[in-house]
Amino acid sequence: MAVSRPGPKLRDLQTTLDAERAAGRTRVLHIIQNLNYGGMERLLADIVRGLDRTHFDCHVLALQYLGRFAEGLREVAQLHLATPMSRWSMLRPTSLARQIASIEPDVVHTHSGVWYKAGLAARIAGVRKTIHTEHGRAKPDPFADRAIDAIAARRTDVIIAVSASVAEQLITTHIAPADRVRIIPNGVETNVLQPRADDGALRRELGISSNAFVLGSIGRLEPIKGYDLMVDAFARLIADWGEDEPPVLVVAGDGSERARLEQSVEQHGLRGRVHFVGWRNDIQSLLSTFTLFTMSSRSEGTSISLLEAMSSGLCPVVTDVGGNAAVLGQQLSHRLVPAGDTRALSAAWRSALCDPAHRRADARLARTRVETAFGLRAMIAEYEALYKTR
């Protein structure tokens, strides 16, 4: 793993960079907080793997640490860790600018969470082109965040929104001018994420009956994702279920809300019916176990987890926030639920579970929708076109 710090390793790295520059490839440097679990992190890794290596020399600089999605990336990119920064780095990120300059990128591509500092460092380093992808924002987002990002936007050449709703928020809140904002929806590898039969492994692991419906969700356990609403809605569903075997809720992911959510499960008397399984590497196995996929988010960009679930042939039941409506499209709009309405969410689950023919038809529509509009290759091609424009 190449880490750009002073010494022989840095000199070796520079030799490699000079050779690749001579070969005429465009050098792209992605900057992100880390490459640990999350949709944004997964997307960056997919972009890096998918870029045409005959035209692009790709680098990734993590400001905090690398993490899960860095695995295997060293085969297609140079990976860097940021050198320690002073407490004043937001005002003058000198060490970061020096590190960027040593890599000599043609393009710096920043991602949510690092926009201001990394964008400023790129300008100090004299980078010719800067691109930023906004993967999603709180709604409403705090004034201080908007003010800082508006400054960052003025020094960014192209600002990518992952959905029309994110673009609208950037423009209407005066963070970014409309003529600098472009929409590039997220994409997933539909050839890999295909419908597959439940192998029963997760059911055996968690002690779930082979006959039980499994409501499934994958995401960060943070307030913006609304998992507190999901637990409340699930308690309502179970209370009204009747004598048939009740469904089970499986949530993959982790975050600051986990302890509070587990306490809520206990308070609702749902032990054994709700399972928090943490971050997992066997996503396709998870998805094959789910009867349907659900989200209760308060805000979204274009959810990678939702795209993966739909590509895997799952019927979605999700809140009508951010880019979710655009992902589902008109044919699946009846599977959207008002945000914050636990009664409506519970009712939507019941409707989907109790009508298997309609649920399966919508699962097929979901798969077709992602294949048609949210393929990974099409998304990467749009980014490549931006990188080539010097």
Q: What is the pLDDT of residue 2?
A: 40
The string of pLDDT tens digits covering residues 65-88 is 998 889 889 999 999 999 988 888
The domain defined by 201-373 folds into Rossmann fold (3.40.50)
Dihedrals phi, psi of 105, to nearest 5 degrees: -75, 150
Q: How far apart are CA 287 and CA 296, in angstroms?
A: 17
SS3 143: helix
Q: What is the pLDDT of residue 178?
A: 96
Give the residue from 275, 290, 306 showing the smallest Cα distance to 206.
275
Identify the burial level of 45 via C-beta atoms within 10 angstroms of its C-beta, where 0-12 means exposed, 13-18 middle and 19 or more buried.
buried
Query: With contact defined as beta carbons under 8 Å apart, do 252 and 286 qualify?
Result: yes
* Sign of the CA dihedral with 221 first, then 225, 227, and 230 last: negative
Give the residue from 332, 365, 385, 39 showing the smallest Cα distance to 186.
39
Question: Is the model's pLDDT at 315 over the cut of 60?
Answer: yes
Question: Is the model's pLDDT at 381 over the cut of 80?
Answer: yes
The domain defined by 8-187+376-388 folds into Rossmann fold (3.40.50)
The string of pLDDT tens digits covering residues 206-252 is 999 999 999 999 999 999 999 999 999 999 999 999 878 999 999 99
Q: How far apart are CA 61 and CA 114, in angstroms?
A: 11
Report how far apart the first and last C-alpha atoms of the chain are (Å, whole number): 28
Query: With contact defined as beta carbons under 8 Å apart, do 204 and 212 qualify?
Result: no
Q: How far apart are CA 29 and CA 387, in angstroms?
A: 10
**Could you tell me the strand order of the sheet in which 158-161 lies?**
78-81, 56-65, 26-34, 107-111, 129-134, 158-161, 181-183
At residue 229, what is the residue type? Answer: L
Q: How far apart are CA 302 and CA 306, in angstroms?
A: 8
SS3 367: helix
**DSSP result, 217-264:** EES--SGGGTHHHHHHHHHHHHHT--SSPPPEEEEEB--TTHHHHHHH
Q: What is the pLDDT of residue 6?
A: 39
pLDDT averaged over every residue in the chain: 92
Identify the burial level of 37 via C-beta atoms within 10 angstroms of its C-beta, where 0-12 means exposed, 13-18 middle and 19 or more buried.
buried
Give the residue from 206, 254, 203, 248 showing the smallest Cα distance to 227.
254
Query: With contact defined as beta carbons under 8 Å apart, do 335 and 328 qualify?
Result: yes
The string of pLDDT tens digits covering residues 259-292 is 999 999 999 999 999 999 999 988 999 999 999 9
Domains 8-187+376-388 and 201-373 share a fold: yes
Assess whether the previous peptide bond of 185 is cis (omega < 30° from 0): no
Question: Is the model's pLDDT at 30 over the cut of 90?
Answer: yes
DSSP for residue 141: P
Domain layout of the chain by residue ranges: 8-187+376-388, 201-373
Dihedrals phi, psi of 200, to nearest 5 degrees: 80, -5
Query: With contact defined as beta carbons under 8 Å apart, do 284 and 196 qualify?
Result: yes
Q: What is the pLDDT of residue 86?
A: 83
In this prediction, residues 310-315 reach a mean pLDDT of: 98
Tokens 């709703």 locate to 165
Query: With contact defined as beta carbons under 8 Å apart, do 86 and 54 qualify?
Result: no
Q: How far apart are CA 208 and CA 205, in angstroms?
A: 8
Query: With contact defined as beta carbons under 8 Å apart, do 185 and 372 qualify?
Result: no
Q: What is the pLDDT of residue 1?
A: 36
Residue 5 pLDDT class (50, 70, 90 cuts): very low
